[in-house]
Amino acid sequence: MNLSGDSTWVISTNDIGDFALYTRDALGISTPTADSIPRLTPPVPRLTGALIPPELVQDWDRWWRDCTETGFGRDPVGLPEGLRQAYTRWSGLRPAEAGRSSARTFSSLLHEVVTELELELGHRPAFKLEVIQIPVEGLFWRRLTRDRVLVSEELMGSRNIIAPLESVLRDLAQ
């Protein structure tokens, strides 16, 4: 989804990386990067009885980094049979309206922040921001690069997003 008020600013949102996070939760992958991101919601059942090659665990961070940097990542070698089908079943359990509702709230709050910033600056701010929306527990925000952030659906649907969003937009509009 692209949100824009005029030709001076653009925000794009996407939901890349959900399968990588599902794999992390289903297989119990634990790395510093994997552990720094909350668990998916609804909770993912642990896959039992699957042989998990050590290379898969070692490659998870690269996979996640590729997903968040380029929008896609090459699946690691050694994914257990049936994992993608289990992910498809799990994603079907997620209410589609939840993501859309968060996006609508986010759009409204975004326009509120941009309007305030425009009044403060005395001109329309010019910026580009990519928002990666993830279905994880709680209010989660991480700035990945100058113009890319990782945000939980719950935070996107909450007024609590105003402070971190305003901080990033102020930085980008300078």
The predicted structure's pLDDT at residue 6: 59
Residue 101 has pLDDT above 90, yes or no: no
Q: What is the value of pTM for the model shown?
A: 0.90
Cα atoms in the Cβ-side hemisphere of radius 13 Å centred on 136: 26
Mean pLDDT on 129-145: 96
CA-based nearest residue to 16, from 86, 65, 88, 56: 65
3-state DSSP of the chain: CEEEEECCEEEEEECCCHHHHHHHHHHCCCCHHHHCCCCECCCCCCCCCCCCCHHHHHHHHHHHHHHHHHCCCCCCCCCCCCHHHHHHHHHHHCCHHHHHHHHHHHHHHHHHHHHHHHHHHCCCCCEEEEEEEECECCCCEEEEECCEEEEEHHHHCCHHHHHHHHHHHHHHHC
d(CA 171, CA 77): 39
Protein fold of 2-14+96-173: Zincin-like (3.30.2010)
Q: Is pLDDT at 7 greater than 70 in this prediction?
A: no
CATH 3.30.2010 domain position(s) in the chain: 2-14+96-173
Q: Which range among 1-5, 47-51, 77-81, 129-133 shows the weakest confidence by mean pLDDT?
A: 1-5
Q: What are the tens digits of pLDDT across the range 116-125?
A: 999 999 999 9
Residue 129 has pLDDT above 80, yes or no: yes
Separation of alpha carbons 147 and 10, rounded Å: 11
Binning pLDDT at 50, 70 and 90, where does residue 161 land? very high
Q: What percentage of the chain reaches a pLDDT higher than 90? A: 71
